[in-house]
Homo-oligomer: A and B are copies of this chain.
Amino acid sequence: MNLTETRYTISEVEARTGLTQHTLRWYERIGLMPHVDRSHSGQRRFSDKDLHWLGFVGKLRATGMSVADMVRYAELVREGDHTVDERRELLERTRREVLARVAELTDALEVLDFKIALYSGTGKAQS
């Protein structure tokens, strides 16, 4: 048990996550972050738990999930264990969307490769 838990200022979190201070404050405002601890003067002091959550949020964002859905997910987490079903559904829907997106990208990639090959050939290429 470590009694001196590490706390991070907003600029440290900015450096670690790549999210701007603006975005971090905005995430908190819209309910995408649990309320962050404050120093006696009101400045944010992020914990490792906060950083971990931000890491997960980053993954969700990478899936293309909308901010509205991420906020919904965060709400469900705050509401407790009885929301696991809805959370799982949300993630499963997102999962299906990711798979569809990957398929779409893979498909578009083929077209891209075909065009690139055309342009790389010695002959004249068209549109």
Contacts and interface: CB of A to CB of B under 8 A. Distances in A.
Interface string A111-127: 11101100110001101
Contact of A116 (B60, B92, B115): B92
Interface string A1-38: 00000000000000000000000000000000000000
A116 B102 contact: no
Given A88-B119, A113-B95, A119-B88, A108 B77 contact: no
A84 B53 contact: no
> How many copies of this chain sit in the oligomeric assembly?
2
A88 B112 contact: no
Contact of A112 (B91, B101, B119): B91
A73 to B, nearest CB: 10
Contact of A77 (B59, B64, B85, B127): B127
A63 B95 contact: no
